Amino acid sequence: MNATAPLATAPMLSLRAETAADLMTPNPVSVRENATLREAIGLLIDRGYSAAPVIDDAGRPVGVLSRTDVLVHDREHVEHLAPTPEYYNRDELTTDENESLREGFQVERVDPTRVRDVMTPAVFSVSPEASAARVVSDMLSLKVHRLFVVDTDGVLVGVISALDVLRCLQP
């Protein structure tokens, strides 16, 4: 029979932050709402992000684009391609600027979907002066992984992720 030693009582954790500004990652990488979905996917993959804030032309958050949003779009987006002709006339093979295409070119169908069409349009935000306790409370009650931090003009100045909160925990 294996005897197990009683687990030592774990020390209480405390949050080493007083305000949202203490928790946030400043100047977050964001995506413009009119960017193509392909551009946004490249950003998420290249940076290793699971999501990014979506901003308007004034820098105000209008939503969030997550990998889940992209997967849902991909699952729901069905495109039926037109039959491909067996041949092309050489004069049909030009760019928008009427330049001829070289031998061995490939034609790619580009998805015109914009980030604004796929993003989650909900914006949960706090001011930089909001208490760290409120940040944690809001994240728990809203069941979100991140909150945006906006200034008095509503411009995005930071993002607080669950990982940011965990980084500020200390025994």
Consecutive H or E run containing 53: strand 51-55
- Residue 48 has which token pair? 């290793």
> Is 80 exceeded by the pLDDT of residue 2?
no
- Is there a domain that residue 163 lies in? yes
Question: Could you tell me if residue 146 is inside a domain?
Answer: yes
The string of DSSP letters for 102-168 reads PTT----PPP--BGGGTSB----EE-TTSBHHHHHHHHHHHT-SEEEEE-TT--EEEEEEHHHHHHT
51-55 and 31-32: which strand pairing?
parallel
pLDDT at residue 88, as a whole number: 63
pLDDT digits (tens, 9 = 90+) for 75-128: 988 776 666 666 666 566 667 777 766 666 666 677 889 999 999 999 999 999
CA distance 125 to 150: 7
Q: What pLDDT score does 102 carry?
A: 66
4 lies in some domain: no
Please check whether residue 1 lies inside any domain of the structure.
Answer: no
Number of domains in the chain: 1
Q: Please report whether residue 80 resides in a domain.
A: yes
Domain with residue 43: its CATH number is 3.10.580.10
Specify if 3 maps to a domain: no
At 146, the amino acid letter reads R
Domain assignment present for residue 2? The answer is no
pTM of the model: 0.77
Domain housing 126:
15-170
Taking the CA atoms of residue 22, residue 142, residue 145 and residue 121 in that order, the dihedral angle to the nearest 10 degrees is -110
Q: Choose from 9-18, 19-28, 69-78 the range with maximum mean pLDDT.
A: 19-28
Q: Tell me whether residue 6 is in a domain.
A: no
For residue 69, pLDDT over 70 is answered with yes
Tens-place pLDDT, residues 19-68: 999 999 999 999 999 999 999 999 999 999 999 999 999 999 999 999 99
pLDDT digits (tens, 9 = 90+) for 117-170: 999 999 999 999 999 999 999 999 999 999 999 999 999 999 999 999 999 998
Percent helix, strand and coil across the chain, each rounded to 5? 30, 25, 50
